[in-house]
Amino acid sequence: MPAMTSISNLSADEIFEQWLRHCAVSDRRPISEEDADAYRYIWSTWKRFLDGERGQGSEPPVHWADVTPPFVVTFIQSGIRSRKTGEVVSAITKRRYWRVLVRVYDHAVDKGVIPENPVSSVADRDKPPIENPLGAILSPRVWDRCIQMLDEPIDPEIAQREIAVRNRALLRVLFELGLTPAELRGLLVQAFVDKSGQQDASIKVDGESYTRVRELLISEHTRQGIVEWLRVKASSPAHAASEILFSGKTGKVLTDEQLLNLVRAFLLKACASVGEAPPLRLGPQIVRNTLLVRLLREGVHQDEVVLRAGLKNAKGLLHLREHLPEGPRLKLAGATKRKDDEPVEPEVRPLLRA
């Protein structure tokens, strides 16, 4: 690309941080501080590409405001590297990088810093494909293997044993309750309600948006996993003072990326152990999707599933319809044809476990 005189005096860091500050107070697309690190990593990869780390050698740097659509295409196709050696960058990862660039450059256009968005101007054929809106699920073999792995004892001699104890408790909650990533990350210690064996233990979940606080019963295995983690957590300087149930190494809330990597590694291990190729999407959402589909297939009333999932009504399950047999699929279709948008009202009781 020939050298150009940039129309913007802002550096790449300055425009990015400006965008982050804007999003932090945006009602439409807010970004929490703990999630900002994941976006900074994406932007730092883009910056290295701008600075000349392209191909086999060093190339002339390009100012962020001077890029053209072909330059963006080259970055998406060859400038993104997997954090794990030898692993192919997925279309979903490319789409994630693409969306961050679109949003930052949209902000620059909105603020009059640049006249048009070079990322949005890329030809449709060169844009990373949009994800299939239908929810992906795990195969029965992989699901069953995951449950088996969660029941296997943790080697007391392994390094980072406290993290292994936390991860197992977190994964048990995810597989049993199907919480959203935000709900799982945001659970507080006080959300765990343990009646010391006198009654069923439960977890109180504060929904993300519309949903109310709901109380979900948990199995004895999951209760024991949480109790074990809380015992380890109390003796760990990094975790003891944190009010977050599944706190990170520094006691803070796990980021979306940390949770994604944790679940992804676990699912990849399960897929490998049963000899199945992993699905394109591996993260907390596919576990949630699979649990909801299993409940519907097992005959749990769709209103009960709606309440367990923290959804407003059955319309929130439509993306899973293709995974259901004819009976449950038709019931779901019938429930979502109503013209009204009334929420499902919960009964005054803890929701039953699966």
| Mean pLDDT (whole number) for 174-199 | 87
Mean pLDDT over each residue of the chain, to the nearest integer: 82
Topology of domain 12-126, per CATH? DNA polymerase; domain 1 (1.10.150)
More confident residue, 201 or 335: 201
Residue 279 pLDDT level (bands cut at 50, 70, 90):
confident
User: Mean pLDDT, to the nearest integer, of 58-85?
Assistant: 86
Query: Would you state the pLDDT for residue 333?
Result: 66
251-272 confidence digits (pLDDT tens): 888 888 889 889 999 999 999 9
Q: What is the mean pLDDT of residues 297-307?
A: 87
- Confidence band (pLDDT; 50, 70, 90) for 136? confident
What is the per-residue pLDDT for 26?
Answer: 61
The residue among 306 and 149 whose pLDDT is bigger is 149
Where along the chain do the CATH 1.10.150.130 domains lie? 12-126
Q: Does residue 351 register a pLDDT over 90? A: no
The architecture (CATH level 2) of 140-279 comes to Orthogonal Bundle (1.10)
Q: Is the pTM of this model over 0.95?
A: no
Comma-separated ranges of CATH 1.10.443.10 domains in the chain: 140-279
Confidence (pLDDT) at 337: 58
Residue-level pLDDT at 2 = 39
Dist. CA 280–CA 123, nearest whole Å: 24
